[in-house]
């Protein structure tokens, strides 16, 4: 089982998505093709790709209603994808991760916006 984030989803379903950078800050070569190849490889290997509902929401919020319907249809066309709810166990895990982060001394000062994004990313 593999879990994907919104960046991977956007690269798969929206070709115009900006190209992510590598560790050195250089644009990654052929990101759309790489993601498609990854999904095809996982599908052939019968490895499920989990799309957490927070990821789906993040992708859909950037889409028009027509695009959103198309994404849902396309997800359904792949046997490899499985949309998973953010459930009780996930909430417990996020709470534990967040509590541990609060209890740890911060290495740098996060803005409220950064902290909110971090908490949202933990849900994914």
**pTM beyond cutoff 0.85:** no
3-42 tens-digit pLDDT? 999 889 999 888 788 888 888 989 889 899 999 999 999 9
Residue 29 and residue 76 in one domain: yes
Residue 62 and residue 16 in one domain: yes
Residue 17 and residue 65 in one domain: yes
Q: Indicate whether 49 pLDDT > 80.
A: yes
Residue 3 and residue 46 in one domain: yes
Residue 41 and residue 75 in one domain: yes
Q: Which domain holds residue 7?
A: 1-85
> What total number of domains does the chain contain?
2
Residue 71 and residue 118 in one domain: no
Q: According to the model, what pLDDT value does residue 45 have?
A: 96
| Residue 12 exposed, middle or buried by CB count within 10 Å (0-12, 13-18, 19+) | buried
């Amino acid at each position: 089982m593999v879990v994907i984030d919104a960046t991977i989803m956007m690269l798969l379903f929206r070709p115009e998505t900006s190209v992510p950078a590598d560790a050195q800050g250089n644009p990654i070569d052929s990101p759309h093709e790489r993601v498609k190849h990854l999904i095809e490889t996982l599908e052939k290997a019968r490895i499920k790709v989990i799309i957490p509902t927070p990821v789906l929401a993040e992708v859909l919020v950037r889409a028009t209603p027509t695009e959103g319907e198309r994404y849902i249809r396309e997800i359904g066309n792949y046997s490899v994808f499985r949309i998973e709810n953010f459930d009780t166990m996930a909430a417990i895990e996020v709470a534990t991760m967040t509590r541990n982060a609060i209890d740890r001394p911060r290495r740098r000062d996060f803005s409220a916006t950064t902290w909110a994004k971090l908490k949202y990313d933990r849900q994914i």
